[in-house]
Amino acid sequence: MQIDFRTSPDKYRHWKLDFDGPVATLTMDVDENGGLRPGYELKLNSYDLGVDIELNDAIQRIRFEHPEVKTVIMRSGKDRVFCAGANIRMLSTSTHAHKVNFCKFTNETRNGLEAASADSGQTYICAINGTAAGGGYELALATDYIVMVDDNSAAVSLPEVPLLAVLPGTGGLTRVTDKRKVRRDRADIFCTLEEGIKGKRAVDWRLVDETVKATALEERLGELASQFAAKSDRPANGPGVIFTPLERTIEDSAIRYKYVTVNLDRALGVADVIVRAPDSDAPKSAEEVVKQGDAFWPLQLARELEDAILHMRLNELSIGVWVLKSEGDVARVLGYDELLRKEKKHWLVREILHYWKRTMKRLDVTSRTLITLAEPGSCFAGFLAEIMFSGDRSYMFIGNEEGDNRPEAKLVLTESNFGPFPMGNGLTRLETRFLGEPESVAEARKHEGEEIDGETADKLGLVTESFDDIDWEDEVRIVIEERASFSPDGLTGLEANLRFAGPETMETKIFGRLTAWQNWIFQRPNAAGADGALKKYGTGIRPDYDKERV
According to DSSP, residue 384 is labeled G
Task: Give the integer Cα–Cα distance in Å for 374 and 370.
Answer: 13
Distance CA 19, CA 32 (A): 25
The candidate with the shortest Cα–Cα distance to 134, out of 75, 193, 93, is 193
Beta-bridge mates of residue 381: 412
Rounded CA separation 495/14 (Å)? 35
Q: Which residues of 301-324 are buried (b: 16+ CB within 10 A; e: fewer)?
A: bbbbbbbbbbbbbbbbbebbbbbb
Whether the CB-CB separation of 256 and 276 falls below 8 Å is answered with: no
Q: Are strands 15-20 and 254-256 parallel, antiparallel or unpaired?
A: unpaired
Q: How far apart are CA 416 and CA 396, in angstroms?
A: 20
Go through 264-299 and write b for each residue having 16 or more CB atoms within 10 A of its CB, e for each that does not: beeeebbbbbbbbbbeeebbeebeebbeebbebbbb
Q: Rounded to whole angstroms, how far apart are CA atoms 276 and 279?
A: 9
**What DSSP string describes 77-111?**
SSTTEEE--B-HHHHHTS-HHHHHHHHHHHHHHHH
* Amino acid residing at 154: A
What is the residue-wise DSSP string for 178-212?
Answer: IIS---HHHHHHHTT-TT-B-HHHHHHTTSSSEEE
User: Annotated catalytic, 138?
Assistant: yes
State the DSSP string of 439-480.
Answer: HHHHHHHTTTTS-B-HHHHHHHTSSSEEE-TTTHHHHHHHHH
Q: In what side-by-side order are the strands of the sheet with 321-327?
A: 249-250, 254-256, 260-265, 270-276, 321-327, 369-374, 393-397, 465-467
Rounded to 10 deg, the angle between the 506-513 and 96-120 helix axes is: 170
Burial of 200 from C-beta contacts in 10 A (0-12 / 13-18 / 19+) = exposed
Go through the chain and tell me how many residues it has.
550
* Rounded-to-10 torsion of CA 36, 39, 40, 41: 80
Query: CA angle, 377 as apex, 265 and 273 as ends, to 5°?
Result: 30
* Residue of 54, 68, 114, 138 marked catalytic: 138
- The answer to whether residue 455 is catalytic is no
**Strand 270-276, strand 260-265: pairing:** antiparallel
Choose the catalytic residue: 54, 65, 160, 507: 160
CA 264, CA 254: separation in Å to the nearest integer? 6
Give the residue among 136, 151, 144 at the shortest CA–CA distance from 179.
144
Q: Looking at this protein, which amino acid is placed at residue 409?
A: A
Q: What does the alpha-carbon distance between residue 150 and residue 109 come to, in Å, rounded to a whole number?
A: 28
CB count within 10 Å of CB 420 equals 18
Q: Which residues are catalytic?
A: 138, 160
